[in-house]
Amino acid sequence: MSQTERRHFSGEDKVKILRLHLLEGKAVSDLCEQHKINPSVFYQWQRTFFEQGARAFEGSGQPRPETKLEKQVEALEQRLQRKHEVLSELMEEHIRLKKELGEI
């Protein structure tokens, strides 16, 4: 039994191959032979492309709404920044007091 090397195609490569069939009318069998892929893989890419194609048009021209996790990350980053500011102020006060007391 011969082992064949598994190939990985980027999303961009998959779209280029699908485009050759859909827009330029190249035969699936020719494309599969040329790129050494199984026709079932090609049709799987095509099904995925059509099922997820609507995402390309969602919110076109408008910023997408922030997800709950993105909002949470932003809030945590703001809290962390504030904590650093408070810590810096406390350290400055501590050093100033040590200088006044002649410990430095």
Count of structural domains within the chain: 2
pLDDT tens-digit map of 11-61? 899 999 999 999 999 999 999 999 999 999 999 999 999 988 877 777 656
**What mean pLDDT comes out for the span 79-84?**
96
pLDDT at 2 over 60: no
Determine contact, residues 74/49, Cβ cutoff 8 Å.
no
Residue 44 inside a domain? The answer is yes
CA distance 70 to 80: 15
Residue 1 inside a domain? The answer is no
The pLDDT mean for the chain works out to: 87
Q: Are residues 27 and 48 in the same domain?
A: yes
> To 5 degrees, how large is the angle CA 53–CA 59–CA 60?
80
pTM above 0.75, yes or no: no
Q: Are residues 55 and 71 in the same domain?
A: no
Smallest Cα–Cα separation from 18: which of 58, 64, 61, 51?
51
Domain that holds residue 16: 8-61
Q: Are residues 70 and 103 in the same domain?
A: yes
